[in-house]
Each structure stands twice: as structure tokens, then as C-alpha cells.
Amino acid sequence: MLLYTEMITAAAIVHGDSARLLHFSAAERPLALQLGGSDPDLLAAAARVGAEAGYDEINLNCGCPSDRVHAGAFGACLMQTPDRVAIASPHCASPCAFRSP
């Protein structure tokens, strides 16, 4: 069984207190970090931080229908711009897989 974090924005990880945001217990493994965002460079940076923090998978949220998330140009609205998702996906740090639903 794979456990997912709540969605955390890439900007919060890169510009905020990533140690607090990404802290987890070994009992929660395997654990996937669920990222929110639409900027490929910011997503890549957040994915690297997540991989360094020990997450087993990095997941780009392409399904959240929330109005607030949509206003930030991420979540389900990313399905309207698959090119943006395609640009972001190869930038994920190994050994994590960058997946979307």
C-alpha cells in the first residue's frame, strides 16, 4: 500500500519551511509526495527536495477540482495543458517516479 501526502504546493516547498512540510515517520512508508503547481522549474526543484527528503514517489496532482487550486493554475486544470505536465515530468530527481493520474 502506498500512502500519499496532502497536496503541497511546489512554491511552499521551495520557498517555505520544507523540513517542517516534508517531515514524515518511517511508519508511513512507502510514501508519495503529492505536489501542486504549474511552473515546471519550480516543480522540478520541489521534486528534488522531496527526493532528498526520502519520499518514495513524487506525484503531480492533476485532479484536484477545487476553485482555489484552479485559480492557482494547478490541479485538474493541468489536464487542459498536457504540454506543461510533459515539460515538468522529466525534471524529477531519481530514484522517484514523477506520475500523474
Catalytic center residues: 64
Beta-bridge partners for 31: 3
CA dihedral 25, 11, 17, 19 (to 10 degrees): 30
- The whole-angstrom separation of Cα 101 and Cα 57 is 13
